[in-house]
């Protein structure tokens, strides 16, 4: 029993009080495991659909920002650029 193993403070569980309360990994994750996990983290481009009224690209299930139509009727007042 060395000097570092002795309990000089009189506390029964001195090592437990000084330890981190959060769980920590025991082993390092390999590069393959890390890259396999990150394989699905890449950003994907938004899917675009065509507006049936003005034939511009727009986000699906949203009013067209160019003409203001959604499902065949005008729902937005769009000011024309001069």
Specify the pLDDT at position 19: 73
* Phi then psi dihedrals of residue 73, to 5 deg: -135, 155
Q: Which two tokens stand for residue 13?
A: 């569980």
In this structure, is residue 42 part of a structural domain?
A: no
The whole domain housing 55 covers 47-82
- The answer to whether position 15 is within a domain reads no
User: Does residue 17 fall inside a structural domain?
Assistant: no
For 8-65, the pLDDT digits (tens) are 555 565 555 667 789 999 999 999 999 999 999 999 999 999 999 999 999 999 999 9
Residue 78: inside a domain: yes
In a domain, 60, yes or no: yes
- For the chain, the domain total comes to 1
Three-state DSSP state, 50: strand
pLDDT at 20: 75
Query: Does residue 63 lie within any of the structural domains?
Result: yes
Burial call 13-33: b when 16+ CB within 10 Å, e when fewer: eeeeeeeeeeeeeeeeeeeee
Question: Does residue 66 lie within any of the structural domains?
Answer: yes
pLDDT at 37: 96
Name the residue with tokens 């002795």.
Answer: 6
Residue 61 CB: number of other CB atoms within 10 A?
A: 8
Statement: the pTM of the whole predicted model exceeds 0.85: no
Tell me, yes or no, whether 41 lies in a domain. Answer: no
Mean pLDDT of 3-8: 59
Q: How many CB atoms sit inside 10 A of residue 11's CB? A: 11
């Amino acid at each position: 029993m060395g000097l570092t193993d002795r309990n000089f403070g009189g506390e029964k569980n001195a090592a437990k009080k000084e330890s981190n309360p959060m769980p920590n990994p025991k082993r390092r994750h390999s590069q393959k495991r890390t890259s396999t996990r990150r394989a699905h983290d890449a950003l994907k481009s938004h899917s675009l659909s065509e507006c049936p009224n003005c034939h511009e690209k727009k986000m699906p299930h949203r009013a067209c920002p160019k003409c203001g139509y959604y499902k065949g009727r005008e729902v937005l007042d769009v000011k024309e650029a001069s």
